[in-house]
């Protein structure tokens, strides 16, 4: 059942992305459209993913788990303090965000391998902005980053497939 749920989330992500793309010319910083999108993201992603509104959403690359829910707000995997039971060292009652992300990513046929990608550090100035506006205005670090080349990403995706 979990596998179906993860595939369904990938499907919904693609629908949102494809639906918004033709309207991307309307997505301007500090516009009415951005304010509407911020509201929609806060309500929608907040309710479903406990989104922290970093403005640089990588949900599809982290098993549909908001990495900003890590108490240390780590962007590229666990800190090394993950307990033997898979819980967080900072909040022992909470399962490590990255353990959840990895478990979910293994159930995602389309985006699961993106779990291997090295993410750019979080730009704190983008907090509370619309991730969709940032993506389409190309101010999102994923769009302008030299952190990894496409060739690097393809190599990492192949590593992900090895069992």
Whole-angstrom CA distances from 116 to 23, 58, 85, 122, 153 are: 30, 12, 23, 17, 8
Question: For 85-123, what is each residue's pLDDT tens digit?
Answer: 999 999 999 999 999 999 999 999 999 988 888 888 888
pTM, whole model, 2 decimals?
Answer: 0.82
Q: For 2-31, how does the pLDDT look when each residue is reduced to its tens digit (9 = 90+)?
A: 788 889 999 999 999 899 999 988 999 899
- Measured CA to CA, the distance from residue 129 to residue 133 in angstroms comes to 8
Q: Do the beta carbons of residue 111 and residue 17 sit within 8 Å?
A: no
């Amino acid at each position: 059942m979990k596998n179906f749920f993860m595939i369904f989330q990938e499907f919904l992500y693609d629908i949102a992305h494809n639906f918004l793309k033709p309207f991307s010319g309307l997505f301007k910083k500090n516009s009415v459209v951005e304010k509407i999108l911020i509201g929609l993201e806060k309500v929608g992603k907040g309710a479903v993913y406990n989104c922290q509104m970093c403005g640089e959403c990588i949900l599809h690359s982290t098993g549909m788990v908001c990495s900003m829910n890590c108490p240390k707000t780590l962007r590229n995997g666990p800190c090394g303090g993950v307990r033997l039971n898979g819980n967080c060292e900072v909040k022992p009652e909470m399962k490590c965000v990255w353990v959840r992300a990895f478990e979910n990513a293994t159930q995602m046929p389309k985006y699961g391998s993106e779990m291997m990608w090295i993410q750019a550090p979080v730009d704190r100035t983008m907090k509370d902005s619309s991730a969709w506006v940032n993506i389409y205005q190309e101010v999102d670090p994923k769009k302008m980053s030299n952190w990894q080349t496409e060739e690097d990403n393809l190599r990492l995706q192949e590593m992900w497939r090895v069992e």
